[in-house]
Structures are given as structure tokens and as C-alpha cells.
Structure 1
Amino acid sequence: MTVTTLWYFIGALVVGGAERTLIDLANEVDHDEYDVTIWTIFSTNPLESELSPEVTVRSLTDAGRLENGVIAGVETPLAYVLAPIRFWLAVRREDPDIIQSFLFYGNVISRIAGLLCSATVITGVRSVPDSDPLARRLIDRVTMSLSDGIVSNSTAGREFVIDRGADRDDVSVVYNGRDIETYRTAEPAAVREELDLPAEATVVGTVGRLLERKGHYDLLDAWPEIGTEIPNAHLVFVGDGPERSGLERRAEELGCTETVHFLGTRQDVPALLNAMDLFAFPSHFEGLPGAVIEAMAAGLPIVATPVDGNSDLIEGYRSGLFVDVESPQQIAWATIRLDQNPDLAESLGSTAAERAAREFTIASMVDGFESVYRRVHEPAAEESVYS
């Protein structure tokens, strides 16, 4: 069997949806068929320890500065010039078979790299922004045709890149996947003991990077009303990010610091989910959020906004409740309703768990990506042989 050289390109292996998908994909892709290397712009890669020994990581600079779980800056802006040049030189020298990227900056670098070698270039779209700078839109449109294939993790993402100028036949949808059994069977974390909560407390939780677009401020603004109707309710934020200090200040302003808890980045997310009673995810825009798949796998009733990828995952009143974007009043209403209607909450959680196990596994995700590789790369390879 001929081994295909597969290079993945991403900024850094930090905690995030695209990064989590890449780790699982790189570990589970058929290593008898694919020789896998992950290229990162920065050498600050906390998730690297989770990779299989068969996966090589090569970093382009040491300039990244990690704060609150994300790359918050660089020691020198020159890194953003040197990193692409070093990658393009490596591409020119080593001529990999496939280059795949996931996010905007990596997409542009990978598309240009494809001009320097014979590699098949596969780029990605992970979310559909509610606004986009003009310069970014123009760069995306100008370079879009340099992609041999494009993978979106949601149907909304597919339509987004088609509107940007991509050929519909070049765009595939591959849903994110998770290790469903891990989330389904995890023993609940002792979060009540850890936070000194009463045994009867209702734990509402959310998992994800602390970014404004995730709707965490809306959830906090809903909390005083929720606390009035559910006196024993506690809100748990799992994850870190640039908005942590701002969210902590908002909790103080609202007078609810005693019932709002920030746990930061955790390695026991499956156990934490199984200790929650309800999951909230009021994002302003999304791709296909792995955090929601994880909550589904754990059988939690979910309150979410019906944006893009969320709508691919959840069916309203069947596997979750939808609320409008930036609507604390509706978040409060849905949360209170689920607490007061345990039969509804249990039904939504069970249906969500069944769908996660059926459609959003790592195996199905890897199968989807490998199908794209065969469809996009192999015809191109054959064409180069006979040309």
C-alpha cells in the first residue's frame, strides 16, 4: 500500500473546538494509509500530549504567549511573517501529498502553499460569523479557488463558503465527532463537594472557551431571575479564555458570585457533565460545537440558540430547547421550565443521547474525512501521473 503524506496546519494545539477535532482526527485516521504531521505556527501546544506516537508535530516559531488557555499574543509580530515563509519552504522542499487546514489564517497559508508543490489542498470552515471584516472577506474570495476541496462541519458553513465563491461540488460536510461512550458512562465528578454545594443543588453548566460570542454574558444576565425561581441553583463555567475577568466582574455586579463558579480548563469534562443537571449553550454564532455533542452524549437537557451548527445538532422540543440569540429572558424561561418539568428534561436528554451515539461519533467523523481525501486527492494524483 502506498502511504499518503498528510500534513495538517493549525495555529497551536490549544483547547478549542477545531483543535479538539484535529487531535481526534490525527489519532484515529488510518496510519497504515496516512503518514500524519501536524504543523503549528506556535510551539505552545498543551494538547500535544494527547497525540498518538504515530503523529509528528512540527512548530514554526516559539513566539506564542499563552494566556487563559489561548494564544494571546506573540513576542514579536515578525512571527506572523516568518511562520508562513518557513512553512512554504518546507512544502517546496518536501512536497507532501495532502495539506489540510481548518481556520482562516491557516487556510490562506495552505492555499498559497499549494502553488509551490503538487499537494492537494483541503481547507475548512468551522463557524459562520455574524460579521466579517471586509479585508478578510476579500482575501477569502481571492484565494478560495486555490482549494482543491473544502470541508465544513455544518450545513450552514457549506452554504457560507458557496456564497463566498466556492464551487458547490468542492464542498463537503463532515460533522464533528466525539468518543460518545466516554461521556455516556463517566462517573459524575464530585463537583458539589469541590464547590461546597448542598446535595440538593441544581447544577446548570456550560463548557467552552470564554469568548463574548459564546453568549456567556447573556447566561449571566439571566441568572438572577433563574436564582429567584430555583433558589438552590448554581451555575458552573468550565473553560477559560479572554473574557474570564469580564465575566467575573459581571457576576459581582449582578450580586451572584456565591452561586456562579468558574472552574477554568479541566481535564475531567465527561465527569463534570455527568454531575450537571442542565446544559446551557447560548452562542451568537457557531460551527458544529463539540461541547454540545458532549452534553448530548451525557444525556443532558440542553438550552441553546438555534444558530447554524446548533441547529444541525438539536431538534427543538425533541432533543433540547431553543432560545433567541442575546435573550437572557428566554434563557431564564427555558432553564426554569426544564427544572420545573423533570419529565420533559429527561425526555430531551435521552433523545439527545440517542442521536449523539447514532450520528456524532469519532469513527463517523474520521470516515467522513477519509472519504474526502479519497475523493479529492486520488483523482488529482492520477491526473498528475498521466499528464
Structure 2
Amino acid sequence: MTDSVRVVHLIQGLEIGGLEMMVVNFLQRLDRSRFSPVVCCFDTLGDLTAQVADRGIPVHLVQRRPGVDLGYIFTLAAFIRRTRPQILHLHNPTAFFYGTLAGKLARVPCIVYTEHGRDFSSGWKTRLANRVLGKLVDRVVAVADYGKRYLAEEEGIAAAKITTIHNGIDAARFAQDYDVDAIRSELGLTPDQPVIGIVARLDPIKNHALLIRAMARLAKQRADAVLLIIGDGPLRQELHSLRDELELAGQIRFLGARSDVPELLSALDLFVLCSKSEGLSLTLAEASAAARPIVATDVGGNSEVVEDGVSGVVIPSDDIEALVAALLKIVSDPELGRKMGRAGRERFERQFTLEGMVAAYQELYSTCL
């Protein structure tokens, strides 16, 4: 291949988030001798823009109007014609809608759609639209096998078009030997205190309220256990109020958005994700990379990351009894937690590395040419 293949990535924006971080990490590792990426945002740019632009990757804002903007299809098609990509890569449902139609108008040779994860309880209109769009794209990627099954069975996308490529993260960031006692000391924690953590946006879908209520029950048996809530979002004040109402100020710390997640994970005895819905959670992959045992709800691709009884405990969604029991089980048996953590790291190395994800996408791109 003498010339690199131009790939336009269509994404809502480059604000800090799991999907956006995955795309940025992917772009930074892409083989630039083979592929020449361009990013097109349709709502906003965001804080991650500099990380992409600093690598010499063009970032454009081709903004749509609020609501359903049918005229945007033609605006986007004009941008694509000027950019002349061989591959148009669409990220998540809104990009799927606008990008598929604009890409066809612009006669892009290959259109790839990645379904990163969404609430699959869609209405019939959405399913019908996706059934039509699925016939127009050339390749579809699901980040978890559950998503692949849904897209094929419920939205009628040909199974032969769909490939599962798990989200991957940089293993090196989570393999360092951190001074755990020093990190705990900075947080006001003792070396032998049970420390539970969650890294997630403070959003209703992550169900932090359930975890806070579970801590109230856990505190009756393990008053020394502490929960670190890492992340920020629209429910910050509401969750603070719930903590105070339950008189858990001593057991629950809100750390806000942090850039030192690998260090914080190293200080945990147990990682929790009690979401009501997920795609394939990057934070679960990160916790696995950090060799932490995990309690996770059985939604989305969570059970593809966490092997129940081996690398953690998988529980029904919104089940406080199961959540409390799982927390108590691991907190009460540190050796079991360490064994689960080691198993999780081994599973991560087999299935969820950034290098593996990038290689899989590059192979997929090659099949388009």
C-alpha cells in the first residue's frame, strides 16, 4: 500500500468520557504509515481535542442544529466530499444516522459503524431506522457479544457484517508498582482499612444511589469499610445529600473527577460498578488491569469482562441484597480478593488490551479496501 488510507471518524464531540477516551487512545496508536485519520465532531469539540490535534490529526467541528436536522445530512456530505476518505467510521447511534446517509451521498467506498453501547430498549421506529441503515453500511462493530446478538436478532443487521471488538486500554498505565500506603495516607486511610471504589460519571444510569444505600447496610457489619466515589456529574449534590441523610460521611468520600485513576485503583481492595445499563465498560477493564476484584451488575458487556466467581461477582441489576452480600464476601476475605484480582488481570491481558483493539480495527479496515 503506497499511500495511507484516509479515515474520517464522526463523533458527537471530544469531551472527557469513556467512548471519547477510547477513540482518542485508538487514534494515538493507529499505524500512521497505513492510515491517515481525520476527526469530525457534530456537536462540540471538547477537552480531549488537544490530545488528538497534538498528534497531527485534523479535528473539525461541522455542527448540526438541535433536534433532528435533516439538512445536516447534506452539510456533512459536502464536508466528506471535500475530505475524500476511503473509510468513514461512525461512532454511536446519532453518527450512525447522519453519517450513513451523508456517506452514501458522498459515495464513500467503505462505511464502518461502531455500536459502543446504548439502551437497547429502543422503540419500533428506531429499530426500523437502524434496520435500514444497517443495510447501507459495510461493516458493523459491537464492543461486546451481547450487542452483536441484539443488532443481529432485533435490528436485522446481517450477522456476517458484525464483528465484536472489545474496548481496550493501555496495560502499562495499570502495571506500575505504586506506593499504596502513601496513596492511602494522602486520602486519610489506614493500610488495613477495607477500601471500595467506583469510577463512573455521577449519572442516574450508574446507580450510585444503590451503592450508597448498600454501604449503609455494610457499615453495620464492617464500620471500617470506606467507599471512594471517583467521578463527577449532574447527580453530585443529590448523592452528597443522600450520603449525609444516611449519616455516612465517615464511610463515603467523593473525590470528583481525577486524572490519577491508576494510582487510586491500586489503593482499592474492591471495585464496584452497579450500572443499570452499559456497553463494554472501560472502567471495568481498568480495574481488571489493576488486578482488583470486581462486583458488577449483569448488564451490557459486564459479564464479558468479569467472570463470575473467578475474577469477581456478577449480580442482578438494582438488587441491593445481592450487592451487599457480594461486597461483604470479598471485603471479609482479602485472600479471595487478591486471587480474583490476579485472575482479572490475566483475563484483561488476553482480551482487553489497547494493542489488541487497535490491531483488530486495522485488520477490519483492511477488509474494506
Same fold (TM over 0.5): yes
Asked if structure 2 preserves the Cα contact closer than 8 Å seen for 1:110 and 1:123, the reply is: no
Q: Provide the residue aligned with 2:93 in structure 1.
A: 104
Q: What is the rounded CA distance, in whole Å, between the counterparts of 1:188 and 1:285 in structure 2? A: 34
* Aligned-partner Cα distance in 1 for 2:125–2:199: 32
User: 1:159 aligned to 143, 149, 154, which one?
Assistant: 149
Indicate the larger mover: 295-304 or 219-228: 219-228
Higher mean C-alpha displacement, 111-120 vs 237-246: 237-246
CA contact (8 A) 2:228 2:254 kept: yes
* Partner of residue 22, structure 1: 23
Shift in CA distance, 121/260, structure 1 to aligned 2, threshold 3 Å: same
Distance 1:328 1:185, change over 3 A: same
1:180 alignment counterpart: 171
Instruction: Tell me if 1:217 matches 2:218.
Output: no
1:309 Cα shift?
0.8
Residue in 1 aligned with 2:6?
5
Once the two structures are overlaid, the 10-residue window that deviates more, 83-92 or 328-337, is: 83-92
Aligned pair in 2 of structure 1 residues 110, 20: CA closer, same or farther (>3 Å)? same
Higher mean C-alpha deviation, range 45-54 or range 34-43: 45-54
Q: CA deviation at 1:78?
A: 7.3
Cα distance in 1 for residues equivalent to 2:42 and 2:179: 37
Q: 2:91 aligned with 1:95, yes or no?
A: no
Alignment equivalent of 2:195, drawn from 164, 188, 203: 203
Pair 1:116-2:117 in alignment: no
1:193-272 aligned within 5 A: 193-272=185-264
Give me the whole-angstrom Cα distance separating, in 2, the residues matched to 1:305 and 1:311. Answer: 8
**Count of aligned pairs:** 364
Q: Quote the residue 1:301 is aligned against.
A: 293
Per mean C-alpha deviation after superposition, the further-off stretch among 202-211 and 31-40 is: 202-211
- The residue aligned with 2:265 is 273
Unaligned runs of 5+ in 1: 64-75, 379-387
Q: How far has the Cα of 1:355 moved from its partner?
A: 1.3
Match of 2:48, SS state, is helix
Which residue number corresponds to residue 119 of structure 2? 129
One-letter code of the match for 1:31?
R
RMSD value, Cα: 2.1
Inter-partner Cα distance in structure 2 for 1:188 and 1:245: 32
Q: TM-score, normalised by structure 1?
A: 0.88
Normalising by structure 2, we get a TM-score of 0.92
The 3 A distance-change label for structure 1 pair 276 and 83 is: farther
Shifted more, 345-354 versus 48-57: the winner is 48-57
The Cα shift of 1:342 comes to 1.4
SS in 2 for 1:12: coil
2:303 is aligned with what amino acid? S
- Deviation per CA, 1:59-96, whole angstroms, max 9, x where unpaired? 124x9xxxxxxxxxxxx737956765432220133331
Question: Structure 2 vs 1, CA of residues 274 and 84 (structure 1 numbering), >3 Å: closer, same or farther?
Answer: farther
Distance 2:177 2:74 in 1: 45
Label 1:162 to 1:79 Cα distance change in 2 as closer, same or farther (>3 A): closer
2:116 partner letter? R
Q: Deviations over 1:103-131 (max 9, x none)?
A: 11011111011222231111121225252
- Which of 145, 148, 151 is residue 138 of structure 2 equivalent to? 148
Letter of the 1:91 counterpart: I
1:58 aligned residue (36, 57, 60): 60
Matched residues in 2 for 1:140 and 1:304: separation? 29
Alpha-carbon distance in structure 2 between the residues aligned to 1:83 and 1:269? 38
Q: Would the aligned equivalents of 1:9 and 1:102 in 2 still touch at CA under 8 Å?
A: yes
Q: Sort the Cα spacing of 1:234 and 1:83 in 2 relative to 1 into closer, same or farther, 3 A.
A: farther
Cα displacement string for residues 173-211 of structure 1 (whole angstroms, at most 9, x for unaligned residues) = 111111112112152575534443344332110112222
Helix, strand or coil for the counterpart of 1:299? coil
Contact kept, 8 Å, 1:91 with 1:116, in 2: the verdict is no
Residues 257 and 140 from structure 1, CA distance in 2 versus in 1: closer, same or farther, beyond 3 angstroms? Answer: farther
Would the aligned equivalents of 1:16 and 1:208 in 2 still touch at CA under 8 Å? no
| Structure 1 residue aligned with 2:40 | 39
Secondary structure at 1:42's aligned position in 2?
A: coil
Residue by residue, what CA displacement relative to the aligned partner does 1:353-372 show, whole Å, maximum 9, x if unpaired? 11112221111000111111
| Alpha-carbon distance in structure 2 between the residues aligned to 1:172 and 1:319 | 25
Q: Percent identity?
A: 27
Quick one: structure 1 residues 243 and 137, their matched pair in 2 at CA, closer, same or farther if it must change by over 3 Å?
Answer: farther
Relative to 1, partners in 2 of residues 1:33 and 1:358: Cα closer, same or farther, differing over 3 Å?
same
- Residues 204 and 280 in structure 1, CA contact (< 8 A), matched pair in contact too: yes
Shift of 1:241: 2.1
Please say if residues 207 and 276 of structure 2, whose CA atoms lie closer than 8 Å, have aligned partners that are also in contact. Answer: yes
Q: C-alpha distance in 1, partners of 2:81/2:268?
A: 50
* Distance of aligned partners of 1:192 and 1:82 in 2 relative to their CA distance in 1, 3 Å threshold: farther
Q: Distance in 2 between matches of 1:274 and 1:259?
A: 19
